[in-house]
Amino acid sequence: MRQSYHDQLAEVGDGLIEMSRLVGSAVSKATTALLDADLGAAESVIAADEEVNKLYRQLDDEAVQLLARQQPVAIDLRSIVTALRMSSDLERVGDYAVHIAKVARRRYPASVIPVELRATILEMGQAATRIAVKAGTVIATRDLALAAQLLADDDTIDDLHASLFTSLLDGNWEHGVEAAIDLALLGRYYERLADHAVSVSHAVTYLVTGEHSDPESYATD
């Protein structure tokens, strides 16, 4: 019975790693859809989100059953509680990737991104993808040093987000209100999905140390 319990805990961890792989791929493809006006990539991200949602529901059910049936204590209890938080955060990363893909689909066949902002959006997308992928590695290894690196990646996205807004508010903006709204939303989507991935690193820190590294920085939307 106890071996089965630990096997179930391991399955939850494996499911979280798979979720991080799926959402990292979604963020990368959504960025491609934006930059290349690639309708196929956008549709792929939107369709694949159901797999992320299905895995999220499955992990949620497994974690709740473990809590109810096994009444875990100490590190096992922390593992299950943090798994619930992490699966929720990863699901939200996937949702924001879908939001990005939907912007690309809505404007197809036009490109959403003006030429002068392509480098900014590319860098945001690459940084966001790195964060999502690193979140999975942090879950797998419980590496606190790597978890701390996610904060630096998040700072990069915050700086790019601020730079994007500076461009949108520039008096020389010549791409119209609609494009400005799209880009403001995209900046927000990248910024929020990164925050949710960073929340995973905080959850892992709590799992390993039993202490909240920065509870006020957990993503909430």
For 56, phi then psi, to 5°, come to -60, -50
Instruction: Set out the domains of the chain in order of their start, with CATH numbers.
Output: 2-217 (1.20.58.220)
- C-alpha 114: how far from its chain's center? 25
pLDDT above 80: residue 23: yes
Distance CA 203, CA 57 (A): 19
Distances in Å between the Cα of 156 and the Cα atoms of 21, 41, 127 are 21, 25, 7
pLDDT-based confidence at residue 74 (cuts at 50, 70, 90) = confident
Q: What is the per-residue pLDDT for 215? A: 46
Output the pLDDT for position 219.
Answer: 66
Q: CA gyration radius for the chain?
A: 19
DSSP H helical ranges for the chain: 2-36, 39-70, 74-107, 118-141, 144-168, 176-209
Which residues are within 8 A (CB) of 190 and not within 5 positions of it... i.e. 6 or more apart?
96, 100, 124, 125, 128, 157, 160, 161
Q: What count of residues does the chain have?
A: 221
pLDDT at 66: 87
For the beta carbon of residue 26, count every other beta carbon within 10 angstroms.
28
Residue 197 CB: number of other CB atoms within 10 A? 34
Q: Is the pLDDT of residue 216 over 60?
A: no
Q: Is the pLDDT of residue 88 over 60?
A: yes
- How much of the chain, in percent, has pLDDT values that exceed 70? 95
Whose CA is closest to 117, among 197, 195, 174, 177? 174
